[in-house]
């Protein structure tokens, strides 16, 4: 961490005056220009490329810009952009009358995560639309929502990964106050809030960072062009920028956890990696506030260093998304083996994912054409998050199809069970719980014609081999966005109601069953039967055993059940109440499991019930 820096950054209010801080290491002059009333406030150069001034004339709601060597620009750490990414910044007061003093964040191992996109989750496309449905989410059994990025992006339609103002909450969603209200409302319901943040690149439109300083470096190239400057000249200012952003989300917005997007795309060879600085910043906030905060990484490197503690020179994130579980599960369910699915071997690899989290733990990857991955030995299972679908896996399909369109209800129930009985943290994607038929497509609302053309071209070329399957939706067309908005009337239709009650009951089972609640790595044994295309999971706790049988085959399969315990069935995906038409049959010490279904039985030692 750097010393001698001035924080907080931007224009902030304290003790009836504004503190104004800008990092512009190569500027010769910096002015804060305010409007209505109009004034120019001259900033004074400080150490390490910072500029600073104080003023009692700046008020809440006032528009302003920074003038860097004569050029007027929005604030790179603006907390509000009411006129969009190209307009002036606005002064806001982030103080809020919080009511969550008695709230305690759930343990990470108890998270049941619901990923959602603010714009498409509700018909109002804003934070209020989420608040209105919190009782619904609590009734479903959700303990944490994961909100896709809300940093200000161009226009009103975007996944959020094109954000250009990391400190400003998207104005059309409800801005900073709207997000604070959402977090406070979630905490009243006992629901944690995970916020997706992007530190591996900055969006292209409305990005004025290079006017202030070397936020990017051509030392490395990324899928988005130049890399964020974490280890080149003047990188200390960029690192301060990111760590201050982390502090803001945790302290000013009471966010419980940050999901760090695509950390494998961060290029940093500093002695202290930026993820380690983020960890130290988070730990300091935890000590100062007494609140619990988590860091979750999206990472496709299968590198245990991201999960190892700082003392071992690890990056010390608390958990990571586990894409390989998803890939193995989808192939087991019948996903075509192409692209990144091509090297996954269905139930064999799914069994390994249950046991070791990573499927590739050092062996050769034909997709990557190299030896890949590391061991997860001694890493707790609650450090991995699993799912049968998420925004990436749905939205990066050409037609944005959900599992409900690609798989039968039987397979949907089986995949949900596979996720919920895992020793990992489960995640649902919004609408999954009622088998929503609405697609989730890629959409933007840029204003730069050249950028719009480039996005359209890139999307078309990405799916050039799939034209026989339909047309690529135009990301810029508002219809693409509207087609992606959840239809909440769907869940009242009988088939969708049954799926909702299935998910609700399955979540309740995970929470209430003594063996599932006490799932540990050492208590799980997994076996795969390739002839029956089935998996058998054995969980042990105290004197109880839980056996989960998942039949991914297209025919009924028979399994022997030993008579060494008093067994009872605790879950069956083929029950008629879920809409199944072929029931499971249990006769004497054999169970006949229908195609593409699963069953859970629990047994206690005889004479010790």
What are the catalytic residues?
A: 261, 298
Q: Containing H/E element for 146?
A: strand 144-147
CB-based contact 178:127 (threshold 8 Å): yes
Beta-bridge partner residues of 371 = 364
Q: Structure tokens of 363?
A: 């062996």
Contacts of 99 (CB under 8 A, 6+ apart): 184, 187, 188
Cα distances from 66 to residues 33, 202, 358, 434, 524, in angstroms, run 6, 20, 48, 49, 58
Upper half-sphere CA count for residue 64 (Cβ side, 13 Å)? 31
SS3 for 356? helix
CB atoms within 10 A of CB 189: 15
CB-based contact 599:569 (threshold 8 Å): yes
CB-based contact 471:456 (threshold 8 Å): no
Q: How many residues are recorded in the chain?
A: 609
Q: Give start and end residues of each alpha helix (H) in 189-255.
A: 235-252
Place of tokens 């071209």: 457
Burial class (CB in 10 A: 0-12, 13-18, 19+), 155: buried
For residues 484 and 488, what is the distance between their CA atoms, to the nearest angstrom?
A: 12
SS3 for 155? coil
For residues 473 and 399, what is the distance between their CA atoms, to the nearest angstrom?
A: 7
CB-based contact 306:275 (threshold 8 Å): yes
SS3 for 191? coil
């Amino acid at each position: 961490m750097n010393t001698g820096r001035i924080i907080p950054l931007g224009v902030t209010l304290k003790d009836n005056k504004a503190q104004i801080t800008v990092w512009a290491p190569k500027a010769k002059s910096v002015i804060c220009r305010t409007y209505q009333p109009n004034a120019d406030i001259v900033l004074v150069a400080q150490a390490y490329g910072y500029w600073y001034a104080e003023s009692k004339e700046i008020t809440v709601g006032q528009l302003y810009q920074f003038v860097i060597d004569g050029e007027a620009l929005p604030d790179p750490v603006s907390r509000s952009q009411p006129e969009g990414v190209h307009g002036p910044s606005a002064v806001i007061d982030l103080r809020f009358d919080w009511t969550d003093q008695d709230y305690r964040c759930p343990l990470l191992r108890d998270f049941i995560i619901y990923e959602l996109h603010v714009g498409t989750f509700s018909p109002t496309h804003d934070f209020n639309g989420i608040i209105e449905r919190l009782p619904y989410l609590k009734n479903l059994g959700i303990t944490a929502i994961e909100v896709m990025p809300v940093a200000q992006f161009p226009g009103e339609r975007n996944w959020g990964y094109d954000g250009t103002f990391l400190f400003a909450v998207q104005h059309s969603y409800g801005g900073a106050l709207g997000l604070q209200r959402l977090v406070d409302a979630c905490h009243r319901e006992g629901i944690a809030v995970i916020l997706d943040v992007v530190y591996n690149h900055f969006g292209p439109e409305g990005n004025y960072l290079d006017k202030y300083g070397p936020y990017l470096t051509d030392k490395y190239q990324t899928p988005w062009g130049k890399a964020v400057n974490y280890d080149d000249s003047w990188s200390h200012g960029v690192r301060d920028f990111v760590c201050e952003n982390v502090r803001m989300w945790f302290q000013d917005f009471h966010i419980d956890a940050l999901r760090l997007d695509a950390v494998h795309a961060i290029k940093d060879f500093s002695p202290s990696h930026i993820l380690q600085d983020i960890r130290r910043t988070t730990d300091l906030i935890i000590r100062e506030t007494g609140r619990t905060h988590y860091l979750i990484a999206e990472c496709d490197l299968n590198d245990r260093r991201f999960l190892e503690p700082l003392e071992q020179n690890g990056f010390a994130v608390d958990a990571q998304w586990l894409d390989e579980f998803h890939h193995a599960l989808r192939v087991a369910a019948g996903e075509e083996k192409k692209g990144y699915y091509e090297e996954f071997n269905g139930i064999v690899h799914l069994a390994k994912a249950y046991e070791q989290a990573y499927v590739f733990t050092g062996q050769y990857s034909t997709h990557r054409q190299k030896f890949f991955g590391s061991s997860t030995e001694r890493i707790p299972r609650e450090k991995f998050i699993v799912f049968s679908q998420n925004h990436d896996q749905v939205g990066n399909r050409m037609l944005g199809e959900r599992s409900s369109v690609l798989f039968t209800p039987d397979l949907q129930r089986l995949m949900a069970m596979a996720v919920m009985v895992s020793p990992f943290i489960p995640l649902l994607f919004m609408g999954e719980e009622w088998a929503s038929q609405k697609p989730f497509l890629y959409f933007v609302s840029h204003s730069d014609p050249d950028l719009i053309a480039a996005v359209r071209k890139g999307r078309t070329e990405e799916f050039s081999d799939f034209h026989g399957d339909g047309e690529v939706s135009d990301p810029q067309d508002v219809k693409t966005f509207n087609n992606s908005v959840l239809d909440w009337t769907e869940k009242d239709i009988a088939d969708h109601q049954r799926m909702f009650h299935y998910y609700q009951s399955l979540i309740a089972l995970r929470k209430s069953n003594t063996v599932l609640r006490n799932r540990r790595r050492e208590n799980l044994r997994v076996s795969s039967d390739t002839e029956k295309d089935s998996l058998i999971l054995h969980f042990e706790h105290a004197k109880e055993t839980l056996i989960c049988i998942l039949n991914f085959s297209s025919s009924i399969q028979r399994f022997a059940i030993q008579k060494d315990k008093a067994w009872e069935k605790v879950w069956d995906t083929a029950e008629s109440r879920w809409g199944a038409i072929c029931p499971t049959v249990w006769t004497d010490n054999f169970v006949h499991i229908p195609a593409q279904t699963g069953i859970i039985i629990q047994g206690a030692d005889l004479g010790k019930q």
